[in-house]
Structures are given as structure tokens and as C-alpha cells.
Amino acid sequence: MAMPTSVWHEYGFRGNPYSTDPIEVSAAGRELLIGREQELALIGRHLTGGASVVALEGDFGVGKTSLAAVAAFDAAQWSKEGGPLFLAMDTRLSLRPEDTRESFERRVVRAVAHVLVANAGSLKSGGRPLDGVEGVKRWLQAPEAGGWNASLGANVGGVAGGNAGFGKARTPNTSTGFAELGIAEIVDGWLAQLFPNRDSGGVLCFLDNLEELNDSGTALNVMEPLRDPLFKRPGLRWIISGAQGMVRAAYASPKMAGVFLNPIDVRPLPHKLVPQVIFARMKALQDQDDAVAPVSMTAFANLYRSIGQNLRYALNLSERYAFDSDPDELRGISEADRDLRFHESVLREADLVYAAQARDLGAADWKVFDHLLRSKAGSCSPSEYKDFGYAQMPPLLSRVRKLTEAHLVSYQIDEADQRRRTISVTDHGRLAYYRHVNDA
């Protein structure tokens, strides 16, 4: 069977303009990030000021990972203008509850080795050659196969003891553990050479989705042992992001004192900038003059507003619609008609959710939901009850219970820290809201 053409090609694009993937660390990615000037400036100040950890807190899908990627890309350009040297990690690290210092450190060392090897060429032409790059490169490609040890003989032997950092003391053997240790030593040597002090920059490491550690007790137990050996390791600088107050919880803990600066709040992208998100993507991906966007800039911005401002979910709904529609059919009608069709399609889905789950909600419930979406960017703590117009927490919690039963919000209590409670809007809640605000 012949390979089917991509649906995006049929719309006239090289790729998916509604992809929900985060923006990548690259010049092309830079072009896709809209707004965020203030946040970028703040991250830049934290980095040039020598912060070990820049922390980003914000709801799911708001744009934290993308912001971090572009901030890192920008920072990596500074050395070209005589600024400090920042090298951006091209992978994202995450922590799991079962992680130990050793398991995490292994992943970090590997990722850092990868960045340094990838940049070795340009570092060399900039007068900062790294010793032993070929060996590390081979080990990265085949660590289990003992590639490292094989290369140890070939490379280091050739340098005849001239490589002060690592070759001297250890007898080569075939264990991966040894290789890991050897790699860590080399990497630290490289870091010390490239970044003799805090002002000289560092390798930017991403630790994403801290909320995956579930509760703040686990988060702190996992993170505390990493504090000095990793978060404060010379030559490494961190961008850590998380949702649901997890970054704030870590920041507020005495166990992490002195590591984090004040976390940067990542709020939803202002509605008026949202058409540009689609515009930038269309510009980057268009490959036919008569390309047709199944969801136009305007339709997308309307959607974004009517689901309470969440980029990832707006992209996800648009992507699904584009997949399910017939490109030929959409090409044959006007943009206004296409927009109407999209609206009707989302409304149909929203109606189903609404009828199944939200029909019995009263005005007071909707008022809470509305405030949560509009003023709290979809997520907050019940301790903010006053902002909802309540004099006490319990009446707010009864509204939250009704919304939870209707699956429009989720309510989580941190087992380790009862004060860390989060009310967050669900995707279903966002769809129901679409129906609610478009209710004629």
C-alpha cells in the first residue's frame, strides 16, 4: 500500500501547526515563542546574577517548558557577545519518587556529557578545547558495550599521561560503574575548566514537571540529597519547573534554603497575543501558497478565551479537529465558514460534557469556576477563599466539592503538607466552560 500523505500536507503545511509539543531549544523554536519578554528578562537576570536554580511555577500547559527552552537558547547566545558561556541541555530531566542521588546523578552526568560533547567543536574553535571528547562520545553511544573502556585505551593512552584529571589512578576494567565514575570525573574536569567561577556561566540543566513527585514530602525527600551535589554543583545551573504549587513548596522548605530564588510565576499568555502563536507556526510550516489553516488565528484565539486560557488544551482541540476534518472540504469554503464549523464542532463536544456532568451546577458553583479560570489561571489554593468572595474556607469547599463531583475541577491535598492544597480546572471543565460562555 502506498504511504498516505500527511494530513498536514493536504492542508498545505510541512508539519502540524497545532502540535502540543513544547518549543525546542533552537533558533527555529525561538521564532515560535510569543510574548514572555518579562519572564525572559527575569530569567536572564537570575542567570547572570549567578543563581543556581531558576524556578518556574505555573499550571499545566501554560508554557513553562517552552519558556525555559527559549530562555536557555537566548542564554546560549550571550557568549557570542562577550558574555558568560551558557550551554543549553537538549534533553529534559525529571525526578521520580523512587529516585536516589545516584540514579539522578547518573542521568545528569550523561546529559551534561552529551551537551559538552555536542559543543566540543565550537568550544575548540573558540580556544577552549576539551580533552578526551572522542572517548566520552563513544561511551555515550554504547555505554554497556564497554565503549568507554575501549576508548580509554585508545585515547588516553595516546595522550601519555598528559591528561591530569582522570586517567591516572584507575585501572581500566569492564564494569559500567567504573565507566560512570570515570565519566563523572571527566565531566567535572571539563566543567571546572570552562566555568572557573559563577560569573563564567554553566551548563543549563532542565528539571521539568516537579509535580510528578506527587506530594511535597516526597519532593523534599528526593530533592534534599541533590541539593549540594547537583543543584549547587560548580558549572551546573538549573531551570526547574512545576505545577500545582510544587515549586513553591520546595522553595519554602528550609531544606532547600539558599538554593532557589523566588519562583517566577508563569501566567497564561495574554489573549491578545494568542493569534500570533498560530501565525508564527503557519509561517514556519507553510509549504503551499494556498495553504488553509483548519483553525484560523482568530478561531484559535476565541477558543483559547472560551476554554479559560490554556495553550496546550487549545492546541490539542485544534489538532484533533484538523485530523478529523476533510482537507478538501475545508479548502472549498471561506475562512468565516471554516471558523463557524470549528466552533460548532467544539460546541458539540462541549454540549456532551455539559449535559453529562455540569447540568446540575448552580449559579454559585459557576461563579467559583469562573473566578478560578479567569483570575486564578485555572489553579489555586482554597486558602485564597477571600478572593472568591467568601468569609471562610468551608463554603468555598462545598462549591469545590460540587465542581469535583461534576469532574470540572480536581482537588488535591498534599499528604505531607496539609496546607498545600490545590484546586485545578480539568480539561473537561474547560470544555464545559466553552459551552457555558457560548450559551446563547
Ligand X SMILES: Nc1ncnc2c1ncn2[C@@H]1O[C@H](COP(=O)(O)OP(=O)(O)O)[C@@H](O)[C@H]1O
Judged by the rule CB under 6 A, the positions of this chain that interact with ligand X are 19-23, 32-36, 58, 60-66, 269, 277, 311-312, 315
Q: Which of 13, 51, 52, 65 binds Mg ion (CB under 5 A)?
A: 65
E runs forming strands in 243-313: 264-265
* Residue window 15-54: x/- pattern of binding to Mg ion, with contact defined by CB under 5 A: ----------------------------------------
Binding piece for Mg ion, criterion CB under 5 A, among 38-46, 60-68, 312-320, 412-420: 60-68
Q: Which CB atom, from 119 or from 209, has the smaller least distance to ligand X? A: 209
Which does residue 191 touch among Mg ion, ligand X, none (CB within 5 to 8 A, set by kind)? none
Q: Which CB atom, from 205 or from 269, has the smaller least distance to ligand X? A: 269
236-242 and 53-57 strand pairing: parallel
264-265 and 53-57 strand pairing: parallel
Which does residue 132 touch among Mg ion, ligand X, none (CB within 5 to 8 A, set by kind)? none
Residue nearest to ligand X (CB): 63
Which does residue 66 touch among Mg ion, ligand X, none (CB within 5 to 8 A, set by kind)? ligand X
Q: Which CB atom, from 92 or from 399, has the smaller least distance to ligand X? A: 92
Q: In whole angstroms, what is the distance from residue 13 CA to residue 22 CA?
A: 19
Provide, rounded to whole angstroms, the least separation between the CB of residue 224 and Mg ion.
23
Q: Which CB atom, from 18 or from 342, has the smaller least distance to ligand X? A: 18
Residue nearest to Mg ion (CB): 65
Q: Which CB atom, from 65 or from 296, has the smaller least distance to Mg ion? A: 65
Element containing residue 238 per DSSP (H, E): strand 236-242
Handedness of CA 127, 128, 130, 131 (dihedral sign): positive
Give residue 420's identity as a one-letter amino acid code.
R
Which does residue 12 touch among ligand X, Mg ion, none (CB within 5 to 8 A, set by kind)? none
Which among 38, 14, 13, 33 has a CA at the least distance from the CA of 23? 33
Q: Specify whether the CB–CB gap between 377 and 424 falls below 8 A.
A: no
Which among 182, 160, 162, 163 has a CA at the least distance from the CA of 171? 182
Provide, rounded to whole angstroms, the least separation between the CB of residue 239 and ligand X.
11
403: left (phi over 0), alpha (psi -120 to 50) or beta: alpha
Residue 309 engages Mg ion in binding (rule: CB under 5 A): no
Binding piece for Mg ion, criterion CB under 5 A, among 4-12, 58-66, 336-344, 353-361: 58-66
12-34 burial: b if 16+ Cβ within 10 Å, else e: bbeebbbeeebbbbeeebeebbb
Provide, rounded to whole angstroms, the least separation between the CB of residue 431 and ligand X.
17
CB atoms under 10 Å from CB of 214, counted, come to: 16
Provide, rounded to whole angstroms, the least separation between the CB of residue 70 and Mg ion.
13
Count, residues near Mg ion per rule CB under 5 A: 1
Provide, rounded to whole angstroms, the least separation between the CB of residue 49 and ligand X.
23
Which does residue 205 touch among ligand X, Mg ion, none (CB within 5 to 8 A, set by kind)? none
Element containing residue 39 per DSSP (H, E): helix 37-48
Give residue 3's identity as a one-letter amino acid code.
M
Backbone dihedral angles phi then psi of residue 34, each to the nearest 5 degrees: -105, 140
Cα dihedral 201, 206, 211, 214 in deg (nearest 10): -100
Q: Which CB atom, from 311 or from 372, has the smaller least distance to ligand X? A: 311
Binding site for Mg ion (CB under 5 A): 65
